[in-house]
Amino acid sequence: MKTKMWGDLMKEVFEFHLRVRGVILQNNKLLVARSRNGKYVFLPGGHVEGNESLIYALKREFQEEANLKCKIKSYLGLIEHDYSRDNVKHFELNHIFEVDAANFPLSKVESMEPHLEFLWVETNKLEEVNLQPYPLVELIKNYAQNKSNNVWFASTVKNFIG
């Protein structure tokens, strides 16, 4: 398979997304979000807007989506991810932070957005609920067991630029 060069890449149409996500663990359960009737789940968070810092954007997203104030504990790492939807290629950088779960209700987190719902999922069932980007499954399982301070990096990008 031929590796794409920068010039070839620039001829393709793709959308770039800078995202920030939060890992919230309680009692071996991870808080995830899902578009209603969606086929996969993802970490809560969203797009970084304009000149926002990553931390400000994550706090804003939690406030907007779940009406929750969050305390950021530490930076966990970066996952780059590419995918196609509706014949458009997407490339995203997901900055992942650990979020203090002290004020998050374990029973149910109410969504402030009609298209979104929140679920608590046991860390040993992340594959079953199709957590995306998929490298998060192993990273979060290991993190839940070890709570190591190693910074993550993972990628789903294959032959994007070689």
* pLDDT given at position 7: 57
Residue 4 lies inside a defined structural domain of this protein: no
pLDDT bucket at 2, cuts 50 / 70 / 90: low
- For residue 162, is pLDDT > 50? no
* Domain encompassing residue 75: 18-155
Number of domains in the chain: 1
Q: Which letter, b or e, does each residue of 71-110 get, where b requires 16 or more Cβ atoms within 10 Å of its Cβ?
A: ebeeebbebbbeeeeeeeeeebebbbbbbebeebeeeebe
Residue 135 lies inside a defined structural domain of this protein: yes
pLDDT bucket at 148, cuts 50 / 70 / 90: low
Residue 8 lies inside a defined structural domain of this protein: no
pLDDT tens, residue by residue, 46-55: 999 999 999 9
**In this structure, are residues 105 and 28 in contact, taking their beta carbons and an 8 Å threshold?**
no
Residue 9 lies inside a defined structural domain of this protein: no
Question: What CATH number is given to the structural domain containing 44?
Answer: 3.90.79.10
pLDDT tens, residue by residue, 115-127: 999 999 999 999 9
Task: Tell me which of 8 and 154 has the higher pLDDT.
Answer: 154
Average pLDDT over every residue of 129-139: 93
pLDDT tens, residue by residue, 79-88: 999 888 888 8
Residue 72 lies inside a defined structural domain of this protein: yes
Residue 2 lies inside a defined structural domain of this protein: no
Residue 48 lies inside a defined structural domain of this protein: yes
Average pLDDT over every residue of 125-136: 94
The owner of tokens 């995202």 is 19
